[in-house]
């Protein structure tokens, strides 16, 4: 009970920011079309519920990738690094797992998707590690390296796809992965569906969401319960002090970025190891937006792995809800504005918490002094 209370008080700035952001979004709805603004807000808040269990499944499906990129960005934050390269790491991870998923058909049964996922994770890890190596050994600013690597990944993957048997020329995207390489549904399709007559119209959710939550737990344990995690955090707080304490800060930077990259790589693998009707890597000059949404998720979750699961679900929830806004003649882009505003307000609310704390401290100090006086008498 105490733990829940503590968690809630830690989350209070984010909750305040969310309320403020939603209010601002409501005002935007009011200005652009006052008649259905209330219904618009209700649609956003209902999120996936607008379409029953299938909608909820879509929320979970969309949350999978942004929880993982959120974990990636959040983990790097803990070591004092800003991982703006989640997008590139995700693309590299996704590409390698699609390659394994489509080409390594000799792998039997469930082993196929597991190996594909693992290879995607390793690829993302290497891509993230590059950032860490350049930062640790050559002092290259990690933000710049990551931005450059995003573009290199994008153009490089386009080039490789176009010149490999993976290219589906007709649709200008990657070919389907083998049936064995598709992430299993894990029974979730029997929960998240709507009935159309006697036909189960299932959502796209699959076992990926379970894997994402599992990774959140693993990251939580790594950060909070291991010496290695403690060293990484120490480097985030003060590099010089941790070097003085005997921590190898170069190793910490490299391994932190490697793990961050691995998490984004998993996100890419889970996105693209999809059935023929699902996502494919398009040959297009667009950076994967999931990587940047991960920054929002991590900031709102205050880099706490458990917080990131909840904020990932929340952002997926209102994004899916935004999709239903079109029936009310609102543009769904209002959701992106709201998410941006929530992040902006979260910058405020951290300060508000500090102010409230210092007021609280002053009060309890006064109360203590009062008691002291009482005792003297």
- The minimum distance between CB 77 and other proteins, in angstroms, equals 9
Per CB under 8 A, does 337 bind other proteins?
yes
Which CB atom, from 304 or from 346, has the smaller least distance to other proteins? 346
User: Which positions from 67 through 96 interact with other proteins, judged by CB under 8 A?
Assistant: 82, 84
The number of C-alpha atoms within 13 Å of 186 and in the hemisphere containing its C-beta is 11
Which CB atom, from 222 or from 337, has the smaller least distance to other proteins? 337
Q: What is the dihedral of CA 150, 153, 158, 163, to 10 degrees?
A: 170
CA–CA gap between residue 373 and residue 109 (Å, rounded): 76
CA–CA gap between residue 240 and residue 228 (Å, rounded): 17
- The minimum distance between CB 314 and other proteins, in angstroms, equals 15
Per CB under 8 A, does 44 bind other proteins?
no
Burial of 199 (0-12, 13-18, 19+ CB in 10 A): exposed
Nearest one of 207, 260, 229 to 85, comparing CA atoms: 260
Per CB under 8 A, does 350 bind other proteins?
yes
SS (H, E, C) 148-165: HHHHHHHHHHHHHHHCCC
Per CB under 8 A, does 200 bind other proteins?
no
- The minimum distance between CB 153 and other proteins, in angstroms, equals 9
Nearest one of 219, 343, 307, 293 to 66, comparing CA atoms: 293
Per CB under 8 A, does 344 bind other proteins?
yes
Among 9, 32, 226, 327, binds other proteins (CB under 8 A): 32
H or E stretch covering 272: helix 249-272
Nearest one of 100, 86, 191 to 142, comparing CA atoms: 86
Number of residues that this document lists for the chain: 377
Which CB atom, from 203 or from 303, has the smaller least distance to other proteins? 303
**Size of residue set near other proteins by CB under 8 A:** 45
Which CB atom, from 147 or from 194, has the smaller least distance to other proteins? 147
Which CB atom, from 105 or from 172, has the smaller least distance to other proteins? 172
Which CB atom, from 28 or from 222, has the smaller least distance to other proteins? 28
Whose tokens are 């690094």? That residue is 81
Per CB under 8 A, does 114 bind other proteins?
no
Per CB under 8 A, does 237 bind other proteins?
no
Which CB atom, from 29 or from 235, has the smaller least distance to other proteins? 29
CA–CA gap between residue 215 and residue 43 (Å, rounded): 31
- The minimum distance between CB 340 and other proteins, in angstroms, equals 3
- The minimum distance between CB 268 and other proteins, in angstroms, equals 19
In this structure, is the dihedral angle defined by the CA atoms of residues 300, 302, 307 and 312, taken in order, positive or negative? positive
- The minimum distance between CB 287 and other proteins, in angstroms, equals 7
Per CB under 8 A, does 336 bind other proteins?
yes
Stretch that binds other proteins, among 135-143, 194-202, 214-222, 274-282 (CB under 8 A): 135-143
CA–CA gap between residue 193 and residue 54 (Å, rounded): 4
Per CB under 8 A, does 361 bind other proteins?
no
Residues with Cβ within 8 Å of 180's Cβ and at least 6 positions away in sequence, in order, are 105, 107, 108, 109, 110, 112, 113
Per CB under 8 A, does 155 bind other proteins?
yes
Per CB under 8 A, does 151 bind other proteins?
yes
Stretch that binds other proteins, among 110-118, 202-210, 272-280, 339-347 (CB under 8 A): 339-347
Tokens representing residue 259 in the block: 């793990």
Backbone angles phi, psi at 199, to 5 degrees: -95, 130
Binding site for other proteins (CB under 8 A): 28, 32, 82, 84, 134, 138-141, 143-145, 147-149, 151-152, 155-156, 158-159, 162-163, 285, 287, 292, 295-296, 299, 331, 333-337, 339-341, 343-344, 346-348, 350-351
């Amino acid at each position: 009970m105490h733990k829940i209370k503590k968690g809630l008080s830690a989350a209070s700035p984010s909750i305040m920011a969310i309320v403020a952001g939603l209010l601002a979004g409501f005002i935007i709805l009011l200005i652009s079309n006052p008649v259905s603004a209330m219904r618009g807000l209700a649609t956003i808040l209902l999120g996936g519920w607008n379409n029953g269990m299938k909608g909820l499944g879509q929320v979970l499906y969309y949350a999978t990738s942004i929880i993982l990129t959120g974990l990636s960005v959040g983990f790097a934050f803990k070591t004092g690094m800003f991982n703006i390269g989640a997008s590139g790491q995700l693309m590299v991870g996704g590409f390698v797992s699609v390659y394994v998923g489509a080409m390594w058909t000799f792998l039997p049964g469930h082993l196929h998707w597991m190996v594909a996922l693992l290879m995607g994770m390793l690829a993302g890890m290497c891509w993230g590690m590059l950032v860490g190596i350049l930062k640790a050994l050559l002092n290259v600013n990690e933000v710049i390296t990551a931005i450059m690597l995003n573009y290199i990944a994008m153009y490089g993957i386009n080039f490789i796809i176009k010149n490999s048997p993976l290219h589906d020329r007709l649709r200008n995207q990657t070919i389907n992965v083998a049936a064995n390489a598709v992430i299993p549904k894990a029974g979730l399709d029997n929960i998240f569906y709507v009935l159309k007559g006697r036909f189960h119209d299932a959502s796209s959710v699959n076992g990926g969401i379970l894997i994402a939550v599992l990774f959140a737990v693993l990251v939580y344990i790594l950060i909070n319960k291991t010496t290695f995690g403690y060293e990484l955090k120490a480097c985030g707080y003060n590099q010089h002090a941790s070097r003085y304490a005997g921590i190898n800060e170069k190793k910490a930077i490299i391994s932190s970025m490697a793990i961050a990259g691995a998490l984004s790589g998993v996100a890419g693998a889970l996105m693209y190891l999809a059935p023929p009707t699902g996502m494919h890597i398009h040959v297009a000059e667009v950076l994967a937006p999931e990587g940047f949404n991960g920054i929002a998720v991590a900031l709102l979750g205050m880099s706490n792995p458990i917080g990131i699961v909840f904020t990932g679900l929340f952002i997926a929830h209102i994004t899916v809800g935004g999709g239903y806004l079109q029936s009310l003649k609102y543009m769904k882009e209002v959701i992106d504005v709201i998410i941006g505003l929530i992040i902006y307000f979260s910058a405020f609310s951290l300060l508000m918490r500090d102010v409230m704390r210092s007021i609280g401290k002053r009060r309890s100090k006064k109360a203590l002094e009062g008691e002291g006086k009482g005792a003297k008498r």
